[in-house]
Chain A
Amino acid sequence: DAGVTQSPTHLIKTRGQQVTLRCSPKSGHDTVSWYQQALGQGPQFIFQYYEEEERQRGNFPDRFSGHQFPNYSSELNVNALLLGDSALYLCASSLVAEISGRNNEQFFGPGTRLTVL
């Protein structure tokens, strides 16, 4: 049973560029959440996708956008990269609460380390 996978593992970009990060959820999961973790901080929620729609969003600018595909995989896109976007980007998958009941914990992937120069 494959867990959450993310690609690439590491990425180096320059300011102003655009980046796309990818996530495949754990088998059987239908909901994908994205988090940003700056060095020394806890993860911060970016947004969540379910049924190919953005369902929740954290306090991140419109430069951060996403997409979910029919197979439940997801992409995170960041435009006009800033130095402050350097972070570990984490993807987490879960099963919608209406089906999983109280056991809708989120399972995290290993993350993508983005460095903006």
Chain B
Amino acid sequence: DAKTTQPPSMDCAEGRAANLPCNHSTISGNEYVYWYRQIHSQGPQYIIHGLKNNETNEMASLIITEDRKSSTLILPHATLRDTAVYYCIVRSNFGNEKLTFGTGTRLTIIP
């Protein structure tokens, strides 16, 4: 699996958009970009994933650059409950490949 690089920590004001970057310059053509988050002492929670087109769901938006070497997870209106560690993972969707977690970005939402 391709490796990802994320900033170790970020702060965001409550009510503002939180933009979490991820670099994955060695991503291969069949690998998707996945985002999970982990609130303290809970299991990781799936957020969103995409291949090359931008994706949006009820939780977030995922913007993938045209060359697919980086992406941004956007939480449009951050709340205190969005405080968590966010993991960016690249993964092939063939054969239920394992998730390879890095150290993620610790996002703190400031009241």
Residues of A bordering B, CB below 8 Å: 4, 31, 33, 35, 41-45, 48, 50, 55-56, 58, 88, 90, 92, 94, 96-97, 101-102, 104-111
Q: List residues 46-73 of chain B with CB under 8 A from any CB of chain A.
A: 46, 49, 51
Q: Which residues of A contact B104 (CB under 8 A)?
A: 42
Tell me, rounded to whole Å, the shortest Cβ–Cβ distance linking B87 to chain A.
6
Q: Is the CB of A97 within 8 A of B94?
A: yes
Q: Is the CB of B96 within 8 A of A96?
A: yes
Q: Which residues of B contact A41 (CB under 8 A)?
A: 103
Instruction: Give how many B residues have a beta carbon under 8 Å from the other chain's beta carbons.
Output: 24
Query: Chain B contact residues: over half helix, strand or loop, or mixed?
Result: loop
Q: Is the CB of B43 within 8 A of A108?
A: yes
Q: Is the CB of A106 within 8 A of B43?
A: no
Q: Is the CB of A45 within 8 A of B98?
A: yes
Q: Which residues of A contact B101 (CB under 8 A)?
A: 35, 42-44
8 nearest interchain CB pairs? A42-B101, A108-B43, A45-B98, A105-B46, A108-B44, A43-B101, A97-B96, A110-B43
Determine the distance from Cα of A102 to Cα of B51 in the docked complex, in whole angstroms. 10
Determine the distance from Cα of A44 to Cα of B103 in the docked complex, in whole angstroms. 11
Q: List residues 65-111 of chain B with CB under 8 A from any CB of chain A.
A: 85, 87, 93-104
Q: Is the CB of B49 within 8 A of A58?
A: no
Q: Is the CB of B96 within 8 A of A55?
A: yes
Determine the distance from Cα of A101 to Cα of B49 in the docked complex, in whole angstroms. 13
Q: Return the chain B residue nearest A88 by Cβ.
A: B41
Q: Which residues of B contact A110 (CB under 8 A)?
A: 42-43
Q: Which residues of B contact A106 (CB under 8 A)?
A: 46, 99
Q: Which residue in A31, A58, A90, A96 is a CB contact (below 8 Å) of B44? A: A90
Q: Is the CB of A42 within 8 A of B87?
A: yes
